[in-house]
Amino acid sequence: MEKIRFEHLTKKFGEVVAVDDLNLTVYDKELIVLLGPSGCGKTTTLRLIAGLEFPTGGRVIMNGEDLTCVHPKDRKMSMVFQSYALYPHMTAFDNIAFPLKIKKLHLNEIQKKVREVAELLNIEDLLHRKPKELSGGERQRVALGRAIVKEPEVFLMDEPLSNLDAKLRVFLRGELKSLQKKLGITTIYVTHDQVEAMSMADRIAVMNRGELQQVSPPDELYHNPTTSFVAGFIGTPPMNLIDCSFIEKSGRAFLDAGEFTIDVSDLEGTLKTTATGSELVLGVRPEDVLILQGKAKENGDFVASVHTIEPLGLEVIVTVRKGDKLLCIRVLGDFRASIGEEVGVSINKQKVHIFDAKTGKRCNAA
């Protein structure tokens, strides 16, 4: 069921277009992540939803009602800020109780609700403390408590975990996700961390330069990116993106990357109809490339030399070099070679992603 809809949402700051003609539907009870590099307009989008910015064009619709002229205080939303923005002169209790106090609830009811939320977040012992006496993770929980106690229809979260250390961040993102499912409150979550996005989201909306690139569940985003930006942004190490041109030779079709060519005869038909020109980008995930050593190296698509080896325990990240091109390869388990050694490289043709160099759009079907 639809909860929030953006219709041609646009925000300009002077000449700068922060959000450009955004159209997106957020469903009830889902956790949607707005993901993108810094400056891509994701935080501005969140602020537009909260009413902290006024749109230059377009509108935000919640439950079928146009929110454009609704004051932030009447929007039935809660927001968790990147800085937490806990009121420094109030105790944790007063911070959480603030939205209820504003609503002029009875003191007994306020106390009851704050206790409930504190219990849910395991912060009952911290309620008498001021924000400066709390650690980062504790402040984060108090900020979350203040958002929950309001019983909003929508949670807005602006990089709520980015100020925490790595270990706590991993722990809290799991907690946050299960909390969201437990409460069943529609959540719009902003982050620049793709791992955080992948691990938490029901759906991810990737943004770049104010434009929406793709909206998909995490696995589809990973396996089937619709633009070269999404392909390069999602995944660690990132997808190999190689500029190449489409050529036809003796009845077969090839992608020519200069240093090597790949046979794409199977895809010839779709490539010809979708590409705007012959300039294409070949995308290959590091795990979709095979390294061939010893005698087998001649059986691959081409021979390259080992550039770097990064053993990570479970897997080894190998970078090979062919001419001026570098290719990142993920090898599961063990890999032994010396730097500069010649190895064969075999690309899984079933898993290649081909994009139009000019438009950045995907050319081959998923």
Partner 1 sequence: MKTIFLSWVLTGLALLIVIAGLFPLYWIVVAALRPYGTLYTTKIMLFPIDATLDAFRWLLFESKFFIWLKNSLIVYMVTLFTCMMTVVPASYTLSRFKFSGKNSLLSSYFVLSQIMTGMSVMGLIALYTLLLKLQLINSLIVLGLIYAASLVPYISWYLKTYFDSLPKDFDEAALVDGASFFQNLRYVVIPMAKPGIVVAITLITVIAWSEWTLASILLGSENFTLAVGLVSLQARWETPWNRFAAMSILYAIPIITVFVLAQRYLKAGLTLGGIKG
Shortest Å, Cβ 93 to partner 1: 14
Q: Measuring CA to CA, how many Å separate 69 from each of 12, 54, 151, 354, 359? A: 18, 9, 22, 44, 36
Q: Would you count residue 132 as binding partner 1 (CB under 8 A)? A: yes
Under rule CB under 8 A, which residues in 73-92 are in contact with partner 1?
73-75, 77-79, 81-89
Q: CB-wise, 84 or 246, nearer to partner 1?
A: 84
Q: Would you count residue 98 as binding partner 1 (CB under 8 A)? A: yes
Q: How far is Cα 74 from Cα 260, in angstroms, rounded to an integer?
A: 60
152 three-class SS = coil
Q: Would you count residue 56 as binding partner 1 (CB under 8 A)? A: no
The mark string for 278-317 relative to partner 1 (x by CB under 8 A, - otherwise) is ----------------------------------------
Q: Would you count residue 260 as binding partner 1 (CB under 8 A)? A: no
Q: Would you count residue 99 as binding partner 1 (CB under 8 A)? A: yes
The correct pick among 5, 130, 321, 349 for binding partner 1 (CB under 8 A) is 130
Write the DSSP string, 48-102.
Answer: HHHTSS--SEEEEEETTEE-TTS-GGGS-EEEE-TT----TTS-HHHHHHHHHHH
Q: Would you count residue 102 as binding partner 1 (CB under 8 A)? A: yes
Closest CA relative to residue 253, chosen from 269, 238, 237, 242: 269
Q: Would you count residue 340 as binding partner 1 (CB under 8 A)? A: no
Which helix (H) or strand (E) segment holds residue 311: the answer is: strand 302-311
The correct pick among 16, 66, 72, 128 for binding partner 1 (CB under 8 A) is 72
Q: How far is Cα 128 from Cα 142, in angstroms, rounded to an integer?
A: 12
User: Which residue type, as a one-letter code, is found at position 213?
Assistant: Q
Q: Please give the DSSP secondary-structure letter assigned to residue 132.
A: G
Catalog residues that contact partner 1 under the rule CB under 8 A: 50-52, 72-75, 77-79, 81-89, 98-99, 101-103, 130-136, 139, 146, 150, 156, 163
